[in-house]
Copies of this chain bind each other. A is one copy, B any other.
Amino acid sequence: MIQPRPRTIPEATVGRLAVYLRVLTGLADGGRTTVSSGELASAAGVNPAGLRKDLSHLGSCGVRGVGYEVTALRERIARVLGAERSRACVLVGIGNLGTALADYAGFGSRGFRFVGLFDAAPSQVGQEIGGLTVQHMSELEATVAEHEATIGVIATPAEVAQSVCDRLAAAGIRSILNFAPVTLTAPVGVDVRPVDLSVELQVLAFLGQQRTARAAEVTA
């Protein structure tokens, strides 16, 4: 059995494919039928050559001299990323951030659907967000099993994030997106992707400070 294409796609490429998918959706809504690599790269903020290399990972899909067909490319990327089928997710921690995430329409159009929202505080339980009712943490395991959810999102305070992570992993969750500002440890077979807003802000500030320092140096 031959392998149709090298099924290992670099992580950096995957992130950009998701961006291309978003741009292509916008182009399709605008009525565009074809797009060149240069134009698409400009809209996505990347190098044209790099974009073509990214796209080459999923086989030739463009037409030389013309460009890429918008809808065909979009569907192909969606298939590779697995965005065509809906994936069940659960969200733990219904604070401001959790509410924002539960309400965010962008997830639904990308193949993700929340099947459970959980919080430990009784004051939060029962309220309705984005068509779902917030449940108490005690129902976490049952809901995960019922919908066979494989993705979990942690938007809790840092203190309880590790215990939530443990419970999610034990309940069968395989992928965790962590917004809590702590480094989580999960059993093998479960991967955690941290999204730390403070870190992002600090990196941004440092790069800016470094840039201005260099500029001042050149002037001197």
Contact = CB atoms under 8 A, between A and B. Distances in A.
Interface in A18-55: 18-19, 21-23, 43-45
A99 B101 contact: no
Nearest to A3: B217
Given A7-B210, A97-B97, A104-B197, A19 B183 contact: yes
A203 interface: yes
Interface stretch (A58-66, A80-88, A133-141): A80-88
A150 interface: yes
A76 interface: no
A174 B213 CA distance: 13
Top 9 closest pairs, chain A to chain B, by CB:
A96-B100, A97-B100, A175-B208, A18-B199, A18-B202, A45-B183, A193-B204, A96-B99, A106-B198
* Interface bracket on A: 35 or more
Q: Which of A43, A107, A189, A206 has the most CB of B within 10 A?
A: A206
Contacts of A107: 197-198, 201
A131 to B, nearest CB: 15
B15 A209 contact: no
A177 B200 contact: yes
Interface in A176-220: 176-177, 181-183, 185, 189, 191, 193, 195-213
Contacts of A189: 211
A205 B87 contact: yes
Given A7-B213, A82-B206, A181-B22, A110 B191 contact: no
Contacts of A99: 96, 100
11 contacts: A7-B213, A9-B210, A11-B207, A18-B196, A18-B199, A22-B181, A22-B198, A96-B100, A101-B197, A112-B205, A193-B207
